[in-house]
Amino acid sequence: MNSNSRIALITGASRGLGKALARQLANEGWTLLLTARGEAALSETATEIGAHYLAGDVADPHHRDRLTKKAHELGGLDLLVNNASSLGPTPLPKLADVYVDELAPLFTTNVFAPLALTQAILPLVRARQGAIITISSDAATEPYEQWGAYGSTKATLDQIANVLGAEEPDIRVWAVEPSDMNTAMLHEALGPAEAAGANPPQRPAAAIAHLIRLRPASGRVRALDFETESAQPHFEQLPTEVRPS
């Protein structure tokens, strides 16, 4: 990557991990293009850290075109972070009770949209030998009850990242499991009391920034495996009871 002018596009950047990672990279001197559906929260975040932003839904092809055009205008792209996702129907249903028709919008948001954005942005990332991150979950690999619908979308996205990494040897493609995080999504899934015991999103955000600096081989990784020793004392330890991120 060009260390003198690093440019990143982060989706789902108005809250949670996306917002935390945007703050982290801004502090490290990155030029940022942020996107999310809620314009008010996105504008507030972008103004706070001095980032460019375009509000919209990455499932919308017209919005993906706008993002690609803006990335061209900024001079290219060193990093794409596919972070935006949906939890799906709540309360989380068991697979026996899932209405199959409800899975279509979930797969559109969590799989088809990031794949389409990756396809559009890929020439820019190739040109700068950059990296693509897709935010995964332990629900993609673990048999958590009632997480089958959401977990299956993340498992699919993992395999897309896995194959893309093999097909694009000149860039890096990482599917990143961020850890259990105290975010609005976990509040919605488990309730505020359980979610409160999870990691603050700033912890995996700092670890992901270190992952980007280290630039290991493409593959599926756990963010917290890339924590620096100096960062660890500033965060609480992972809770004993692991829940999906």
Assess whether 150 carries a catalytic annotation: yes
C-alpha count within 13 angstroms, C-beta hemisphere, residue 56? 16
CB 184 within 8 A of CB 195: no
Tokens 């093999």 map to which residue?
A: 166
Burial 41-63 (b: 16+ CB within 10 A, else e): ebeebbeebebbbbbbbbbeeeb
User: Whole-angstrom Cα distance, residue 168 to residue 104?
Assistant: 28
Please name every residue paired with 221 in a beta bridge, in sequence order, or none if there are none: 176
Assess whether 53 carries a catalytic annotation: no
User: Whole-angstrom Cα distance, residue 27 to residue 158?
Assistant: 29
Length of the chain: 245
Q: 36's torsion region: left (phi>0), alpha (psi -120 to 50) or beta?
A: beta
Q: What DSSP state is assigned to residue 3?
A: T
Please name every residue paired with 149 in a beta bridge, in sequence order, or none if there are none: none
User: Whole-angstrom Cα distance, residue 188 to residue 169?
Assistant: 38
* Structure-token pair, residue 22: 């945007």
> Which residue among the candidates 70, 99, 144, 150 is catalytic per the annotation?
150
Name the residue among 104, 164, 93 with its Cα closest to residue 134. Answer: 164
Q: Which residues are catalytic?
A: 150, 154
